[in-house]
A and B are shown apart, each in its own frame.
Chain A
């Protein structure tokens, strides 16, 4: 019984909505389709258009949206189908914006002549006279959700490893650890060879520091070779525990 009661209103509404939608539609076509919007009150005109948020139902966003013409000088609201009309606007040049907290719309400049001829163009504040035509009645498509938040810096191992400071520390360490393994420094012949090649690199006898440094380096590397060798020792140590 309840159902029977409820059906007619719903159906009625659907009809009403259809009629309303049709009305909006016809109005839009008769109005500025030709570029002229005539209104009863002589020098006052109507800015019309439609706003679209791709992928989102209009019901979900129109209640928070407004159409602002030149700041808050003229205000319009969106219909449930996303179309809008701002009434009572005198001739002039205006920036029309759709304002919603969650979606971003690009503003459009609308010029209205004293006779009511309309045109829409891109907003360019630096060259206000430049004309790049936009469709009129306005078709404004949201360019995406508003991004209010900055990305937080996340911490990951890769970030840590790719850090230049870390790379600068890790690479020499690797060389220190691995080089003695590749080259057997305990072999005296090898050592001589290296020393010779180093001396070749710095033939100036007044700078013996380099060879000294090299020897120092290798004597130091002995210590580190111990550390490197310690990796072998780890296993028994662990086993012992």
Chain B
């Protein structure tokens, strides 16, 4: 069965300023649209435990609820229960979508509930759809056995049937009252062959629970109201044949929750074959055989129920047609063409929203879900209303790549790159390049002038791949994102628009990804080059995908086939003759290169296990070698580029004996520089290692709180060898300072800001479970913070020690635009020293700039040009006037 996830995301990329997040900037940077409340909603329940309502007109989110991760937050089933004359569809599949149509526009304020089964069938929740709030929530009682509640059914008489299964034993049915959630009755029915209700069962006609047993190739039926035994109907008796190795799938429809489901249902017999069947008087009749048919589904408009069937048309398109569900006849003028995206996946699910036209014929819109987790909403005859790239809610790793220079800039660069060939030709080259620049400038001015005449709304500065170029301060970059679905995206960091996408099929579901930038855009005319290593976690077998990060195109370089499991991969700082960094892959055969053990540090695995190893970022610069103390002496930093921070957790998880350890090891010599142990503490540990400091966060089991600890390393008052650092020649052990603090929240992820030259002070960017991204100045995590304030500490600007760090909401860089379930924060330097680019990704993606030391190299955007110019003018006029007055005065005195 194709595994499907539909992740719901609120995809927003916004820019804003931190440190000075002023309210009037909000509108300035936002690209948010508010749409009038529409009655049409798509409800989504996803495998990442998100439940949301989408606007069918625009694809925007009305509201979204994020449950806890893991099986306890899993959404097992969704049921729509509504009052009023509108259509409700219930589909109990892995992706549960109910398209509902709220009748006519007068019924906009229709009142709707949705019932969810959550957490391995533990909880039953009822949602008020328009508000997005909960009606009620109850815990399902399963008695002594563990029943897995997987399906919900209601025929509108005020009863909800929650159906669970004890695998290979029986089906348990609990009947609840819809209004208050009270239990009416409980039954259990023998079904030793059944393991999963969701994949094999459906309710047909007058409450007939129908299940497919692929082993015996037969249907089992149970009347829910009578609760008798299940009756077996082998498919062969119906004259049907199943494609060998295929698990047949049943699809039924319940047009109105106040009535029982239709007696017609669909049966998928093979990857490209569907059958429309009818249950009448206990007999199953075949109405129509659809072959070839990729997807099929039911929809209802008014009293009419139709079946929509998608069949292949040619290589690039599919056609969707409607068929009358009761007769199986094709409806005229209902063809819809769906064009396949060459960079996308195959269609996987089909959801239909049908409505009655004025002439009483059936019109419809469809939502197509593809393998690459994209949703497309189409209307006849094939217009795409909106698309959503849901894969972006599961970004695994990302990189930011500088945009290429424009053609003219590249021309100039080329002039300096080439070897000199005579004075005259150099002069000519210089003149020609100046001419090109002049030409470009005039063209730019002309464009400005031309745009200024047009009304503002018509001026479009759309970013496309063609007009991409680096801006003056390198603030606009290409974000290359790798998603768990195996789809790659290139996103412009300034506008958040997707510039290219590429779906990699044959990515294993448990793949681990590593994205490496082998060549940046700095080596014109060589194109930039990224390499994605995709590794199957179970087998260790890996494949390489080499591509151009700006255009998303696959590189002409054919990566080598990797028949052996890969143990380790590393991007070396060495470059080949084409300026591409060398990628080192170590497999278990050691054929071409042999490795040799240099050092070994034994960490007893029965006591503790290594959780993470953090080195410093290779592109990090440290501007100042030391810190000036209050008495004007210098405390030099211990800046060892080979230092690794190794975090261990104890295997014993008892709260009295658990501990976490941190080892600072020199990667060249294997020497342990420092070792620290935090007793009565446990993970998850979040670590940031940079410059001469390591910051880590852990859970203190003793005091039941989150704590931060910072370690800083100093050489002392004298630098041993100031010209070059060598791990082999450092006789003195560094001085180690450490301090800990209480943090009043748990954290999801942590990263440090990064700037071009490292002059700007550092901030820690902390992703909180509340969805906020906190920008905490590193100044607060300084082991030299004094307990008693002295003259010297005041001179050094040290903040007096306080045990608790405070979360100030002014420090949230994303204000109320929360980023749910932050998975990672990526930081990149920009061309401005004061500015660091930040991307936070989780269910949402948020891009912004932060200024840890304020914008010292740019005029503030609230800079008062008016004031400055008016003061200058006033002074100018004042001097003019006073000069004149002085002349008059002198003249008067001369007359006196």
Chain A positions within 8 Å of B, measured between CB atoms, are: 2, 5-6, 8-10, 12-13, 16-17, 19-20, 22-24, 39-41, 46, 58-59, 62-64, 66, 68, 70-80, 84-85, 87-88, 93, 97, 99, 101-102, 104, 107, 123, 125-126, 128, 146-153, 155, 226-227, 229-230, 233-234, 237
Within 8 A of A (CB), among B105-141: 106-107, 110-111, 119, 122-123, 125-126, 128, 131-137, 139, 141
Majority DSSP secondary structure for residues of A touching B: mixed
Q: Complex Cα distance A126/B743, Å?
A: 10
Across the interface, do B134 and A79 meet the contact criterion of CB distance under 8 Å?
A: yes
Across the interface, do B888 and A233 meet the contact criterion of CB distance under 8 Å?
A: yes
Residues of the B chain whose Cβ atoms lie less than 8 Å from the Cβ of A70: 746
When C-beta atoms are compared, the residue in chain A nearest to B81 turns out to be A16
Partner of B65, one of A59, A66, A79, A128: A66
Q: Complex Cα distance A141/B73, Å?
A: 27
Across the interface, do A149 and B815 meet the contact criterion of CB distance under 8 Å?
A: yes
Partner of A101, one of B21, B139, B181, B771: B771
Q: Complex Cα distance A142/B24, Å?
A: 25
Across the interface, do B24 and A71 meet the contact criterion of CB distance under 8 Å?
A: no
Across the interface, do A149 and B111 meet the contact criterion of CB distance under 8 Å?
A: no
Partner of B179, one of A19, A79, A234: A19
Interface size class of B (residues with CB under 8 A): 35 or more
User: From residue B162, how far is it (CB to closest CB) to chain A in Å?
Assistant: 15
User: From residue A8, how far is it (CB to closest CB) to chain B in Å?
Assistant: 8
Partner of B137, one of A58, A85, A125: A85
Across the interface, do B134 and A149 meet the contact criterion of CB distance under 8 Å?
A: no
Partner of A149, one of B23, B69, B119, B137: B23
* B133, B748, B862, B889 — most chain A CB neighbours (10 Å): B133
Residues of the A chain whose Cβ atoms lie less than 8 Å from the Cβ of B771: 99, 101
User: From residue A91, how far is it (CB to closest CB) to chain B in Å?
Assistant: 14
Partner of B884, one of A79, A226, A237: A237
Across the interface, do B180 and A13 meet the contact criterion of CB distance under 8 Å?
A: no
Q: Complex Cα distance A13/B107, Å?
A: 14
Given A75-B67, A148-B810, A9-B889 contact (CB < 8 Å): no
Partner of A88, one of B110, B119, B744: B119
Across the interface, do A78 and B742 meet the contact criterion of CB distance under 8 Å?
A: no
Q: Complex Cα distance A230/B67, Å?
A: 78
User: From residue A227, how far is it (CB to closest CB) to chain B in Å?
Assistant: 8
User: From residue B136, how far is it (CB to closest CB) to chain A in Å?
Assistant: 6
Across the interface, do B84 and A16 meet the contact criterion of CB distance under 8 Å?
A: no
Partner of B84, one of A9, A19, A66, A151: A9
27 A-B pairs within 8 Å (CB atoms) are namely: A8-B83, A9-B83, A9-B110, A17-B135, A41-B139, A41-B141, A63-B131, A66-B65, A72-B746, A75-B67, A77-B65, A77-B125, A79-B134, A80-B128, A87-B122, A87-B139, A88-B122, A125-B742, A126-B804, A128-B703, A148-B816, A149-B23, A150-B22, A227-B882, A229-B889, A230-B885, A237-B884
Across the interface, do A16 and B179 meet the contact criterion of CB distance under 8 Å?
A: yes
Q: Complex Cα distance A116/B812, Å?
A: 37
Instruction: Confirm or deny: B558 has a beta carbon within 8 angstroms of a beta carbon on chain A.
Output: no
Q: Complex Cα distance A141/B104, Å?
A: 40
User: From residue A158, how far is it (CB to closest CB) to chain B in Å?
Assistant: 15
When C-beta atoms are compared, the residue in chain B nearest to A8 turns out to be B83
Chain B positions within 8 Å of A, measured between CB atoms, are: 20-24, 26, 62-63, 65-69, 72-73, 83-85, 104, 106-107, 110-111, 119, 122-123, 125-126, 128, 131-137, 139, 141, 179-181, 703-705, 742, 744-746, 748, 769-771, 803-804, 809-810, 812, 815-818, 862, 864, 867, 882, 884-886, 888-889, 892
Residues of the B chain whose Cβ atoms lie less than 8 Å from the Cβ of A40: 139, 141
User: From residue A16, how far is it (CB to closest CB) to chain B in Å?
Assistant: 5
Residues of the B chain whose Cβ atoms lie less than 8 Å from the Cβ of A9: 83-85, 110-111
Residues of the A chain whose Cβ atoms lie less than 8 Å from the Cβ of B83: 8-9, 12-13, 16
Q: Complex Cα distance A159/B742, Å?
A: 40
Q: Complex Cα distance A67/B449, Å?
A: 54
Residues of the A chain whose Cβ atoms lie less than 8 Å from the Cβ of B133: 58-59, 62-63, 77-80
User: From residue B450, how far is it (CB to closest CB) to chain A in Å?
Assistant: 35
Q: A59-B133, A125-B703, A152-B20 are in contact. List 4 more A-B contacts (CB 8 A).
A: A9-B111, A63-B133, A104-B809, A155-B867
Q: Complex Cα distance A27/B334, Å?
A: 51
Residues of the B chain whose Cβ atoms lie less than 8 Å from the Cβ of A87: 122-123, 137, 139
User: From residue A29, how far is it (CB to closest CB) to chain B in Å?
Assistant: 15
Given A87-B123, A125-B705, A59-B746 contact (CB < 8 Å): no
Q: Complex Cα distance A234/B122, Å?
A: 90
Across the interface, do B119 and A237 meet the contact criterion of CB distance under 8 Å?
A: no
